[in-house]
Amino acid sequence: MTALYRKYRPQDFDEVVGQEAVVRTLRNAISSGQIRQAYLFAGPRGTGKTSMARILAKGLNCVQGPTATPCKVCNACVTIASGTSLDVIEMDAASQRGIDDIREIRERVVLQPVEGRHKVYILDEAHQLTDAAFNALLKLIEEPPPHLVFVFCTTDLAKMLPTVRSRCQTFVFSRPRLPELVRLLRRVADEEGIDAPDAALSLIARSARGSFRDAVSTLDQLTSATEGQVSVQAVLQLLGAVEEEALF
């Protein structure tokens, strides 16, 4: 079975929660044809940076696009969502951080996209790239082939080289508000047939500290532990917390 946080990742801009400014800017950029060669998505873990990068890639490569409302059913959209697209390459900069990995990118970017209009490179935890790797990328970021788009995702914006940041359009992802997290958990619970009162979902949302992924993962764990009957007491036991009344 697919983990709930993967099953309920946003698949288009309409499903993104809590990042209205980022969504509005990217929608307008796609609609007006003002796509930049490099984007930098920064923010705490679990706030949707990689998901937003995939949605951007869908908008650029959808058979109906470029479009701010990708169809989600064409081959390009389906393969991007599943992580199997040949035109959207996701790299973990924590493990592929050296100059040899960047040289490999530089050799491949000259190739035209296989199916879509753009080749999109998504580099997760980009701040862990070495300085030499970043310097090898600089010229490519500044003057890329017209079909190439970079999306750097990072949880530590301060560690990104200023020379790289100056060449990217930067978006800072904020932590979602508590009511937004609770609404998301309620939607997941209703669609999965999970019996969970609002008080239990509120406790789960608080424990996630602004991470969509942590909140949905905790709900997933509780569902397995309680066979779909998530109570306030079950949440408190899992989190090792106490009720507010007892604490006061």
CA distances from 132 to 128, 151, 170 (A): 11, 19, 22
pLDDT value at 192 more than 70: yes
Q: pLDDT confidence of 142, banded at 50, 70, 90?
A: confident
In the chain, alpha helices (H): 4-7, 20-31, 49-61, 75-82, 99-108, 131-142, 162-165, 178-192, 198-208, 212-226, 232-239, 244-247
Which backbone phi and psi does 32 adopt, to 5 degrees? -95, 0
DSSP annotation of 75 reads H
The answer to whether residues 147 and 112 touch, using CB atoms and an 8 Å cutoff, is yes
Per-residue model confidence (pLDDT) at position 247: 53
pLDDT value at 11 more than 60: yes
**66 preceded by a cis bond (ω within 30 of 0):** yes
Take residue 10 and report the two structure tokens written for it.
Answer: 């946003």
Per-residue model confidence (pLDDT) at position 241: 64
Residue 151: how many other CB atoms lie within 10 Å? 25
pLDDT per residue as tens digits for the range 159-184: 988 888 988 999 999 988 899 999 99
Question: How many Cα atoms within 13 Å fall on the side-chain side of residue 10?
Answer: 24
The answer to whether residues 230 and 221 touch, using CB atoms and an 8 Å cutoff, is no
Single-letter residue type at 177: R
Q: pLDDT confidence of 245, banded at 50, 70, 90?
A: low
Question: Structure pTM?
Answer: 0.88
pLDDT value at 217 more than 60: yes
Select the more confidently predicted residue: 70 or 140.
70
Mean pLDDT for all residues in the chain: 87
Residue 113: how many other CB atoms lie within 10 Å? 18
Question: How far is it, in rounded angstroms, from Cα 122 to Cα 201?
Answer: 32
Give the β-pairing of 88-92 and 38-42. Answer: unpaired
What percent of the chain stands above pLDDT 70?
95
Per-residue model confidence (pLDDT) at position 1: 66
